[in-house]
Amino acid sequence: MSCFRLSLAVTAATLFLGACSVGPDYRPPTVAAPAAVKYAAGWQPLPEQDWQNSGEWWRVFGDETLNALIAEAGRGSQTVAQAEARYRAALAQRRLSRGDYSPRLDADLSLRRAGSSDRAVSETAAAGIGISWAPDLWGRVRRQVESDTAALEASAADLAAARLLLQLAVIDSYIAVRVLDRQRDILQETLEMVERSVALTRNQYEAGIVSRADVIQAETQLQSLRSDGYDLENRRAIEENTLAALLGRTPVDFALAASDSLATVPVVPAEVPALLVARRPDVVAAERRVAAANAEIGVAIAAWLPDISLSAGRGVEGSSLSDLWEAPVQVWSLGPSLAQTLFDGGRRSASRDIASARYQEQVASYRQTVLDSLRDVENALATNAILAEKAVQQEKLVELAEANERVITNRYRSGLVSFLEVATAQNTTLNARRGLVDVTAERLLATAELVAAIGGSWEVGDAVVQ
């Protein structure tokens, strides 16, 4: 009876002491938090849109083909599949750690034969069931669960980051394909115009108005434009194959029909500067890894303290298996046990120092991630603001180049200038029109990068794996 009372006393004491946890309680590290952004001129407000409510930020571009491609990429991307598997592993790891809260129930059945020098052989058989429990006396299990929970949240943020990067990559390649389609259309329009110029030059040469040099100049320009067309085809094929890989398809199974349209540049919504990067998945992941490393310090410190376990068992013994059922000997056990490591060659001290150093590493990584995020936001804002002004100037350049080409062409028809001036004017117009398409593409990509820089439409607490 005294043993039973002792067990109850130890149990009560461990439950009382188990309310505490060793190690430092977590406090998020301080990071840079500017009150404003440098390129605020590019940060324009926008009323709430459907794409914000749906969580599909790419709908800001208003392109159904792009929407379908991103949806398919989310289903077929092997990069995302890897991140999802890592998330499920982190989820299982937390379940594994939480299992240490529960008692352990074991059953055993054994049959042993033993002999001696006088050739006597004996048999013993035993069967039993036992339950054991190690109370979380110093909060070691709680700290481990705390660490694994933070690691799980970091893994969820990593998965969101993988999806965000995939979406950005699909947008990048898709816009590149559409730009090449538009460049090809512009080139074709220019080719048709130059072919007319070549025909005009040949007629003027036959009439003795211009020299053979003008004909050669016109034909050279025409051939040069035809060669440019092959470059565009090659670049489009590469971008189309890149899209196929992002979608999880082989290149032979994917083709994107040409289109003569290019999305208009949208305006993204404003955010409070202090909250610009707080919702970015990579920032969230970095902060959660700090929390996990902090909890690991408590796990390492708990190793210095004694462990108490409570166990109880009941079973039967006999000289053979049949005796276990016919004439068993009843056995039982009940009681606590205390274990304390007295000397380990510095292992626990080293484990504590490792945990502390890893915590400092994660703090530095978190702070650098925040700085990098603020840089990304500023870069995206600057690019959007500067490209918006550049687009205005590029449109003026196209207007002037087209007007100049018309004037030069009319002068050439009148025999006032050589074809070299016509070729120069045509090339200037072609380059100006191409430049306008390139600026539009850069603005589209800059918009996507700006939305990605503030975390897309992902929010902390989103359901990550359905």
Q: What is the tally of helices (H) and strands (E) in the chain?
A: 10, 4
Token representation of residue 265: 């540049």
- Identify which of 274, 362, 259 has the alpha carbon closest to the alpha carbon of residue 33: 274
Highest mean pLDDT among 123-132, 141-150, 331-340: 141-150
Beta strands at 104-115 and 307-318: parallel, antiparallel or unpaired: unpaired
Please tell me the predicted confidence (pLDDT) of residue 35.
61
Please tell me the predicted confidence (pLDDT) of residue 34.
66
Q: In whole numbers, what is the pLDDT of the chain averaged over residues? A: 83
Give the pLDDT band of residue 305 (cuts 50, 70, 90): confident
Percent of the chain with pLDDT over 90: 42
Least confident of 35-39, 117-121, 331-335, 336-340: 35-39
**What is the average pLDDT across 172-194?**
93
Cα 301 from Cα 22, distance rounded (Å): 7
* pLDDT (tens digit per residue) in 428-460: 999 999 999 999 999 999 988 888 888 876 544
Strands (E), 322-420: 329-339
Q: Name the phi and psi angles at 402, rounded to 5.
A: -65, -40
**What is the average pLDDT across 67-95?**
94
Token representation of residue 134: 């190690």
| Structural contact between residues 145 and 414, judged by C-beta atoms closer than 8 angstroms | no
* pLDDT (tens digit per residue) in 254-276: 999 999 888 888 876 555 455 66
| Structural contact between residues 109 and 127, judged by C-beta atoms closer than 8 angstroms | yes
Least confident of 57-66, 219-228, 324-333, 438-447: 324-333
Give the pLDDT band of residue 37 (cuts 50, 70, 90): low
Please tell me the predicted confidence (pLDDT) of residue 464.
34
**What is the average pLDDT across 352-366?**
93
Cα 241 from Cα 239, distance rounded (Å): 5
Q: Is the pLDDT of residue 36 over 90?
A: no
What's the whole-model pTM score? 0.81
3-state secondary structure of 124: strand
Question: Would you tell me how many other CB atoms lie within 10 Å of the CB of residue 175?
Answer: 22
Please tell me the predicted confidence (pLDDT) of residue 42.
46
Cα 425 from Cα 193, distance rounded (Å): 12
Residue ranges per domain, the chain?
A: 14-103+139-307+349-453
**What is the average pLDDT across 203-231?**
89
Please tell me the predicted confidence (pLDDT) of residue 48.
44
Q: Is the pLDDT of residue 244 over 90?
A: yes
Give the pLDDT band of residue 377 (cuts 50, 70, 90): confident
More confident residue, 94 or 204: 94
Highest mean pLDDT among 234-238, 371-375, 379-383, 455-459: 234-238
Give the pLDDT band of residue 400 (cuts 50, 70, 90): very high
Token representation of residue 304: 């210095």
Amino acid at 276: L
Q: Which CATH architecture has domain 14-103+139-307+349-453?
A: Up-down Bundle (1.20)
Please tell me the predicted confidence (pLDDT) of residue 231.
94
3-state secondary structure of 125: strand
Q: Is the pLDDT of residue 219 over 50?
A: yes
**What is the average pLDDT across 179-207?**
91
* pLDDT (tens digit per residue) in 86-134: 999 999 999 999 988 888 888 888 888 776 666 677 778 888 898 888 8
Please tell me the predicted confidence (pLDDT) of residue 313.
82
Please tell me the predicted confidence (pLDDT) of residue 466.
26
| Structural contact between residues 136 and 18, judged by C-beta atoms closer than 8 angstroms | yes
Please tell me the predicted confidence (pLDDT) of residue 123.
79
Amino acid at 264: T
